Amino acid sequence: MTERPAQPDPMLVVNNLCVAFPDRNGGWVDAVRNVSFTLGRERLGIVGESGSGKSQTGRAIMGLTAPGGRVSATELAFNGVDLLRCGTQERRALRGGRMAMVLQDPKFSLNPVMTIGAQIVETLRAHQEVSASVARNRTLQALEAVQIDDAQRVYKLYPHEVSGGMGQRAMIAMMLIADPDLLIADEPTSALDVTVQLQVLSILDTLVAQRGMGLIFVSHDLRLVSTFCDRILVMYAGRVIEELHSGDLASARHPYTQGLLNCLPQLGQSRHPLPTLNRQPQWAV
Ligand SMILES: Nc1ncnc2c1ncn2[C@@H]1O[C@H](COP(=O)(O)OP(=O)(O)OP(=O)(O)O)[C@@H](O)[C@H]1O
Ligand SMILES: [Mg+2]
């Protein structure tokens, strides 16, 4: 484990982040609207329904917004670096190095024509000067750290030769190889069965606790986020409608969050008829 230089806290400052995409009629559709938050060496969860802007928030921070998309903010700073004004090269050096993102679908993130081992080695050597043999050993260790038992074999496999869950873990190994300060994990456990899901969460937990990493954990699963994260942002229609400490979920004030909580199954309670969430048009304003 390498000693880290002192970094400003909070490491990430996001003020009034907006992301918009062109629509077919020459106008713009707002995907993210005035999102503001800060992140220290902690676990921040972002929850919200499909299309609420969770992934686009993460992508904008990483500089991975799709071409044509428009990103603006009054402040977007990482470890004191102004992300809106830094050049493409500086951005690229940060990505995969000091900041990394596990994308929602690992199929699109792994290179199909390179073995898993070779691409993790390449990521490491793009950010740190290490010899080929050190890179290979660190890659094997990284694969073992995400609970891939036969790391030597998986190292030599191509992405299409591994299961979805194993691909997702290989992706997490690749994102952690350069020892980032900030990891954005977008639904990192959605393709995993419950036992492996818990293992992956415990790996991320250790990294936050032992290496002082900041984690943004994106999920639609309010229960998972509330047990795993310190703080939660609830998004709806591109906005953060509520920010809560995980322990304070019961005192959520926004009717959308209250509705989500009400829909969670509870042990020992009859759920007939099943509760549904009645969305109100004014929530999206
Ligand atoms: N390339 C794009 N062009 C146009 N609109 C886009 C593009 N990418 C995303 N959007 C829109 O931005 C909005 C937010 O999408 P985003 O992917 O952030 O949702 P999400 O909260 O991550 O949802 P999910 O839980 O389904 O992953 C959606 O309305 C989506 O249609
Ligand atoms: Mg998403």
At 188, the amino acid letter reads P
Res. 153 pLDDT band, cuts 50 70 90: very high
Res. 1 pLDDT band, cuts 50 70 90: very low
- From residue 215, give the alpha-carbon distance in Å to each of 71, 93, 177, 228: 22, 19, 15, 11
52 lines ligand 1 (CB under 6 A): yes
Contact between residue 252 and residue 263 where contact means Cβ atoms under 8 Å apart: no
Residues with CB under 5 A from ligand 2 (ion): 55, 104
Q: Mean pLDDT across the chain, nearest whole number?
A: 87
Res. 204 pLDDT band, cuts 50 70 90: confident
Does this model's pTM top 0.95? no
Tell me the per-residue pLDDT of 163-185, one tens digit each, with 9 for 90 and over.
Answer: 878 888 898 899 889 889 999 99
Q: What pLDDT score does 2 carry?
A: 45
CATH number belonging to domain 12-98+181-284? 3.40.50.300
Do the strands 81-82 and 75-78 form a parallel or antiparallel pair, or are they unpaired?
antiparallel
Tell me the CB-side half-sphere exposure of residue 105, using CA atoms within 13 A: 2
Lowest mean pLDDT among 53-57, 192-196, 203-207, 244-248: 192-196
Q: What pLDDT score does 5 carry?
A: 52
List, in order, residues 6 or more apart from 186 with CB less than 8 Å away.
54, 55, 58, 101, 102, 103, 104, 218
The two three-digit tokens of residue 220, written as one number: 């639609």
d(C-alpha 214, C-alpha 94), whole Å: 15
Q: What pLDDT score does 166 carry?
A: 86
> Is the per-residue pLDDT at 6 higher than 60?
no
Question: Where do the domains of the chain lie?
Answer: 12-98+181-284, 108-179
> Is the per-residue pLDDT at 264 higher than 90?
no
> Is the per-residue pLDDT at 231 higher than 80?
yes
Q: What b/e readout covers 11-47, taking b as 16+ CB neighbours within 10 angstroms?
A: bbbbeebbbbeeeeeeeeebbbbebebbbebbbbbbb
Return the best residue to mutate from 32, 46, 56, 216 for the ligand 1 pocket (most ligand atoms within 8 A of CB): 56
User: In angstroms, what is the C-alpha Rg of the chain?
Assistant: 19
48 lines ligand 1 (CB under 6 A): yes
